[in-house]
Amino acid sequence: MGYKEQELALPTDYSEEQLKRKIQKSNGISNFSYSIIKKSLDARKKDNILWRIKVIISSDSLKGKYSEPLSLEIPYEKRKEKVLVAGSGPAGFFSAYVLQKAGYEVTLIERGLDVDSRSTGIESFEAGGDFNSKANYAFGEGGAGTFSDGKLTSRTKSIKRERDFIFDSYIKAGAPEEISYLTHPHLGTDNLKLIVKNLRADFEAIGGRIVFDCRLTDIETVSGTVKSAETSRGRMDFDYLFIAPGHSSFETYRMLIKRGVEFRNKNFAIGSRVEHPQSIINLAQWGHAELAGVKAAEYRLTSQTDTDHPVYTFCMCPGGTVVPATAYEGNNIVNGMSLYGRDGEFANAACVAGVNIEQLTGHESSPLETLDWLEALERAFFGISPDYKAPAVSIKSFLAQEITSPLGKSSFPLGLTEYPIWEALPPSVSRAMRHGLQDFSRKIKGWDTGIIIGLESKTSAPVQVLRDETGLADGFDNLFIVGEGSGWAGGIISSAADGIRSAMSLI
Ligand SMILES: Cc1cc2nc3c(=O)[nH]c(=O)nc-3n(C[C@H](O)[C@H](O)[C@H](O)COP(=O)(O)OP(=O)(O)OC[C@H]3O[C@@H](n4cnc5c(N)ncnc54)[C@H](O)[C@@H]3O)c2cc1C
């Protein structure tokens, strides 16, 4: 059997038949099979937007050779060591899953609730009920990655084997196969809720143990070895401890710092969400309000402002919803999510300024002080709107620095409180955001008709653990800190890959 890799250009609403005919005609072959390995939208010419599709064709009439891509090999043997993993987000789950596959005795603990109870908690909060500290957008089964947009893109280099393993696991757990070849793969919360449940079932079927509503509260360390852990369900013993707390778990960071785990400050970002009707973004990006065969248009904008901070958009959610994403009662932050269909009325994205803590405070700051500073900002936004509505203002008003035009409609489920957000953000961030918003108004037609919503403070962790390339915390011989909370990863795929890498180095 011979093989060939080929790139084809097809209309956005192409059919499988058209794709087959094109392969047949361009290669002069009739007996063949094919699989798509890459698919990306080419919207450079608005009057001729196309899918660019890369396929591998196999046929007796072809001569080329195929080499199987290298995959993650997890060597199994019955091992006596016990591993405790704290945090069931992408990093914690995938490290636990890989370690269990390798034969360790793994217990995964999660401070929040299982995904179904988590859904109920979030729905009840958004229907006006109480905030639930164990069931929200940050805490609960699957971590921040579950009730998310579910974009599976990652800018982290050299994680191909890990990424293939993650995609393969997701597909086996119910994800659409297209995630393996789309350049911008996307799952949406509806798929993710099912996937995390199926992955949990698989983890348990191979002997893994998972305990919900179980928070790691303290660790006992002796001469660089963590001897045991205190949890909200009692003491737990192990040989190795993996902590994958995400970047929302303030008290976990504080506990680790108190117990001698070393962190340092890192650059992070502060800003708000921007929201527009999706039709405005479609028109600006495609020249049409709709495009057959494509769900909703995306954007990614950057502005090198002449202020102290670059401004950029991040985690854009086409057809998505802005959500109340706090992990703690009394804090108020926002984030964005979507469903697989991406057919909501609005488009949203984080619009943030890149910062470091010294720029904001004007003095050196310890990691603990950085966390205090960030938490105080999240509390200040709650102070503006203590009912968890999101403070918001029109982009036109933000640009004018006075409330000049009314708020438009929004997807935010709890409602908006009109507020001059530029006064609530640190002054240098407000200044940079204004420059950025002006710049983006030149790049996207209709941009200034959007609104600015709430505080976006979780695009990346503000602190970073000191650890070696295996994820082992400096000065410890059995403590791995992984994922976004480590400050070395961000996003679903890079956090999951970080967890896998540390697991593989232990194996
Ligand atoms: C609304 C939203 C949308 C997002 N959309 C995307 C997207 O489209 N694409 C993307 O790549 N990224 C997205 N992200 C970011 C992504 O979810 C995170 O980068 C990723 O989940 C980080 O993985 P993690 O495992 O390191 O941490 P997390 O997913 O944050 O998981 C940490 C887990 O640890 C638990 N935990 C914390 N402390 C303890 C403790 N002491 N004891 C026990 N358990 C503990 C938490 O409850 C949580 O479940 C989104 C985030 C949010 C909030």
Residue 68 has pLDDT above 90, yes or no: no
* Record: fold of 82-264+463-506: FAD/NAD(P)-binding domain (3.50.50)
> What mean pLDDT do residues 284-295 have?
94
From the CB of 252, is ligand 1 less than 6 Å away?
Answer: yes
**Cα 90 to ligand 1 centroid, rounded to whole Å:** 7
Residues 53/36, Cβ–Cβ less than 8 Å: yes
- Report the phi/psi class of residue 468: left, alpha or beta, with left for phi > 0 and alpha for psi in -120 to 50: beta
Which residue has the CA at smallest separation from atom 15 of ligand 1? Answer: 491
Which residue has the CA at smallest separation from atom 34 of ligand 1? Answer: 87
* Strand order across the 479-481 sheet: 209-211, 105-109, 82-86, 240-243, 479-481
> What mean pLDDT do residues 271-291 have?
96
3-state secondary structure 387-456: CCCEEEEEHHHHHHCCCCCCCCCCCCCCCEEECCHHHHCCHHHHHHHHHHHHHHHHHCCCHHHCEEEEEE
DSSP state of 495: H
pLDDT confidence tier of residue 236, bands split at 50, 70 and 90: very high
Q: Given ligand 1 and candidates 94, 108, 148, 251, which is best to mutate, with the most ligand atoms within 8 Å of its CB?
A: 148
pLDDT confidence tier of residue 133, bands split at 50, 70 and 90: very high
147-196 pLDDT per residue, tens: 999 999 988 778 999 999 999 999 999 999 999 999 999 999 999 999 99
400-448 pLDDT per residue, tens: 999 998 898 999 999 999 999 999 999 999 999 999 999 999 999 999 9
From the CB of 484, is ligand 1 less than 6 Å away?
Answer: yes
Enumerate residues 6+ apart whose C-beta is below 8 A from 486.
91, 244, 461, 464, 465, 467, 471, 498
28-58 pLDDT per residue, tens: 999 999 999 999 999 999 889 999 999 999 9
pLDDT at 408: 85
How many angstroms separate the CA atoms of 242 and 248, rounded? 17
pLDDT at 70: 84
Residue 305 has pLDDT above 80, yes or no: no
Residue 307 has pLDDT above 80, yes or no: no
Backbone torsions φ then ψ of 364, nearest 5 degrees = -65, 150
> What mean pLDDT do residues 102-108 have?
98
**Mean pLDDT of all residues belonging to the chain:** 96
pLDDT at 186: 96
Which amino acid, 82? K
**Which one, of 294, 406, 297, 395, lies nearest residue 346 by Cα?**
297
205-218 pLDDT per residue, tens: 999 999 999 999 99
pLDDT at 405: 85
337-375 pLDDT per residue, tens: 999 999 999 999 999 999 999 999 999 999 999 999 999
pLDDT confidence tier of residue 65, bands split at 50, 70 and 90: confident
Nearest ligand 1 atom, CA 150: 8
Residue 69 has pLDDT above 80, yes or no: no
Which residue has the CA at smallest separation from atom 35 of ligand 1? Answer: 87
CATH architecture type of domain 2-59: 2-Layer Sandwich (3.30)
From the CB of 353, is ligand 1 less than 6 Å away?
Answer: no
* Domain range summary for the chain, segments of one domain joined by +: 2-59, 82-264+463-506, 267-370+379-456
pLDDT confidence tier of residue 67, bands split at 50, 70 and 90: confident
pLDDT at 386: 92
pLDDT at 66: 80
Nearest ligand 1 atom, CA 335: 1
From the CB of 487, is ligand 1 less than 6 Å away?
Answer: no
Nearest ligand 1 atom, CA 154: 11
Question: In the structure encoding, which two tokens stand for residue 319, read together?
Answer: 């057809």
Burial letters for 166-204: b for 16+ Cβ neighbours within 10 Å, e otherwise? bbebbeebbbeeebbbbeebbbbbebbbebbbebbeebe
Which segment of 297-311, 388-402, 461-475 scores lowest on mean pLDDT? 297-311
Number of helical H runs and strand E runs in the chain: 13, 22
From the CB of 188, is ligand 1 less than 6 Å away?
Answer: no
Q: Given ligand 1 and candidates 249, 322, 328, 371, which is best to mutate, with the most ligand atoms within 8 Å of its CB?
A: 249
Q: Is the pTM of this model over 0.85?
A: yes
pLDDT at 156: 79
How many angstroms separate the CA atoms of 251 and 244, rounded? 13
Residues of the chain above pLDDT 90, percent = 94
pLDDT at 64: 86
Residue 482 has pLDDT above 80, yes or no: yes
- ∠ CA(230), CA(232), CA(233), 5° rounding? 90
